[in-house]
């Protein structure tokens, strides 16, 4: 059953220096015209999937971008269309502080949004300028307060390894966010993506390259500071107050099917689900030997899709890899399924290497869970699990 829905909004007011996401920086009339056309097409697609029965089991919706709040009043209209098509218990909209005013907060809450994810990144003015953010620290903190006052669950995204960032500046950002008391915090290390302005600047000035040692320290400091403030780590990059974990992200990490609508939106469906919706997703069946299909919509008109087909063995290896992002780890049932598909000897060898390297440990419930070392050396741990996909 498809339990999650992602909608992509490829517009923003200004493109950040590190961003390689599919988004277009527009303002004024140009944004109004492009956004109206895009949202109208998005609603048509939403209705088509609803008529096909694909949305009946949706329990979480995430509207991401880009900057969804750049749509202005049309964002609440889109949310109302989503609410008419399905009945999620969690509906998240991404928001940037500069476009999240009182009117927007109240409109989203009234339309049925339950949660906002604010792109704060840092509370240091020099760091905000270095990465091309157009909001201030004051606007970010005001946005947190505004979201909470509107009754919305509130999440803040932070980034570490930014140009000019220091241990002291990171501590100040963490302290400021903890004092603002959002319900959820995500912390991501900066990566320089080829072709972005920041990557080009770093070619001229290597000092702009993220320092991996500083990033590791920042991730550990975030864990310490947020734990002291009452936030529990539940995923490699995410912390939440009890009961405020992001259900949508958990769906991603636990192998649930999700539908992606909009330019560059990604989806993941079981083979049977894909076949039932094939006419809306390019027309090609999953094919023999396919257990799971991943896809990305490649254009505005939903006429082109990049498609990846996974065997049952590849799918279970992917589930292990993603499950190890979660603090709770993977359950015995998933390990048992992996043994039947990838071979008991192969799975036990991978688990043994994870244990011997201190990347994972057994819990009292018999789950295989990442250790703090595994959390810091995630790529090594995930690689051990994904290697089980190969014969």
The model's pLDDT over 133-150, given as tens digits with 9 standing for 90+, comes to 999 999 999 999 999 999
Q: Tell me how far apart the alpha carbons of residues 146 and 151 are, in angstroms, rounded to a whole number.
A: 9
Query: What pTM does this model have?
Result: 0.96
Q: Tell me how far apart the alpha carbons of residues 120 and 140 are, in angstroms, rounded to a whole number.
A: 6
Q: What is the DSSP letter of 85?
A: H
pLDDT value for 199: 86
Q: Tell me how far apart the alpha carbons of residues 233 and 164 are, in angstroms, rounded to a whole number.
A: 27
Percent of the chain with pLDDT over 70: 100
pLDDT value for 203: 87
Tell which residue, 156, 188, 172, has the closest CA to residue 124.
Answer: 172
Cβ–Cβ < 8 Å for 71, 12 = no
Q: Tell me how far apart the alpha carbons of residues 172 and 194 are, in angstroms, rounded to a whole number.
A: 30
Residue 391: pLDDT band (50, 70, 90) is: confident
The mean pLDDT value for 57-75 works out to 96
The mean pLDDT value for 163-188 works out to 98
Per 3-state DSSP, the chain is made up of helix, strand and coil in percentages (nearest 5) of 45, 20, 30
The mean pLDDT value for 59-67 works out to 97
Tell which residue, 194, 93, 182, has the closest CA to residue 145.
Answer: 182
Tokens, residue 20 = 């390689």
pLDDT in tens, 288-328: 999 999 999 999 999 999 999 999 999 999 999 999 999 99
Q: Tell me how far apart the alpha carbons of residues 7 and 24 are, in angstroms, rounded to a whole number.
A: 16
pLDDT value for 202: 86
Q: Tell me how far apart the alpha carbons of residues 333 and 355 are, in angstroms, rounded to a whole number.
A: 19
Query: Does pLDDT of 234 surpass 80?
Result: yes
C-alpha distances (whole Å) from 24 to each of 7, 132, 145, 312, 327 are 16, 15, 28, 37, 35
pLDDT in tens, 19-59: 888 788 888 999 999 999 999 999 999 999 999 999 999 99
Cβ-based neighbours of 320, under 8 Å, separated by 6 or more: 330, 334, 335, 338, 385, 386, 388
Q: Which 3 state secondary structure label does DSSP give 310? A: strand
Radius of gyration of the chain from its Cα atoms, rounded to whole angstroms: 21
The mean pLDDT value for 105-117 works out to 98
**Bridge partners, residue 200, by sequence:** none
Cβ–Cβ < 8 Å for 159, 122 = yes
Cβ-based neighbours of 61, under 8 Å, separated by 6 or more: 4, 5, 6, 7, 82, 86, 88, 90, 91, 92, 248
Q: Tell me how far apart the alpha carbons of residues 366 and 333 are, in angstroms, rounded to a whole number.
A: 10
pLDDT value for 20: 82
- Block residue for tokens 């988004």: 23
Q: Which 3 state secondary structure label does DSSP give 251? A: helix
C-alpha distances (whole Å) from 192 to each of 12, 18, 132, 170, 214 are 20, 6, 14, 19, 15
Q: DSSP E strands: which ranges in the chain?
A: 2-9, 11-12, 24-25, 60-65, 90-95, 115-121, 153-160, 184-189, 232-235, 238-240, 257-261, 266-270, 292-297, 305-310, 360-362, 368-370
Neighbours of 51 (CB within 10 A): 11
pLDDT value for 17: 86
């Amino acid at each position: 059953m498809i339990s999650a829905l992602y909608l992509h909004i490829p517009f923003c007011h200004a493109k950040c220096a590190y961003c390689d996401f599919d988004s277009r920086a527009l303002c004024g009339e140009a944004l109004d015209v492009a956004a109206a056309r895009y949202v109208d097409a998005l609603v048509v697609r939403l209705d088509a999937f609803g008529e096909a029965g694909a949305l009946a089991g949706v329990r979480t919706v995430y509207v991401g971008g880009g900057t969804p709040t750049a749509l202005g009043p049309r964002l609440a209209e889109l949310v109302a269309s989503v609410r008419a098509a399905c009945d999620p218990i969690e509906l998240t909209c991404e928001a940037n502080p500069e476009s999240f005013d009182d009117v927007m907060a109240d409109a989203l809450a009234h339309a049925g949004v339950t949660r906002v994810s604010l792109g704060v990144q840092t509370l240091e003015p020099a760091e905000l300028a270095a990465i091309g953010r157009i909001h201030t620290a004051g606007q970010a903190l005001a946005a947190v307060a505004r979201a909470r006052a509107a009754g919305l669950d509130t999440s803040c995204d932070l980034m570490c390894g930014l140009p000019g960032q220091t241990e002291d500046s990171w501590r100040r950002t963490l302290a400021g966010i903890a004092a603002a008391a959002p319900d959820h915090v995500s912390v991501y290390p900066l990566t320089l993506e080829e072709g972005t302005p920041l990557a080009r600047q770093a070619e001229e000035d290597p000092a702009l390259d993220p320092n991996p040692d500083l990033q590791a320290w920042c991730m550990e400091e975030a864990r310490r500071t947020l734990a002291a403030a009452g936030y529990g780590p539940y995923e490699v990059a995410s912390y939440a107050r009890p009961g405020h974990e992001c259900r949508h992200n958990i769906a991603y990490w636990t192998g649930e099917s999700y539908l992606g609508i909009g330019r560059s939106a990604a989806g993941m469906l079981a083979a049977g689900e894909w076949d039932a919706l094939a006419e809306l997703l390019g027309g090609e069946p999953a094919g023999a030997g396919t257990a799971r299909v991943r896809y990305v919509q490649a254009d505005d008109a939903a006429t082109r899709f990049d498609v990846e087909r996974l065997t049952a063995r590849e799918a279970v290896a992917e589930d292990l890899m993603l499950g190890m992002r979660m603090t709770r780890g993977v359950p015995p049932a998933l390990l048992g399924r992996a043994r039947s598909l990838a071979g008991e000897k192969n799975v036990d060898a991978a688990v043994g290497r994870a244990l011997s390297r201190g990347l994972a440990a057994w819990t009292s419930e018999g789950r295989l869970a990442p250790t703090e070392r595994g959390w810091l050396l995630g790529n090594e741990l995930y690689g051990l699990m994904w290697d089980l996909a190969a014969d």
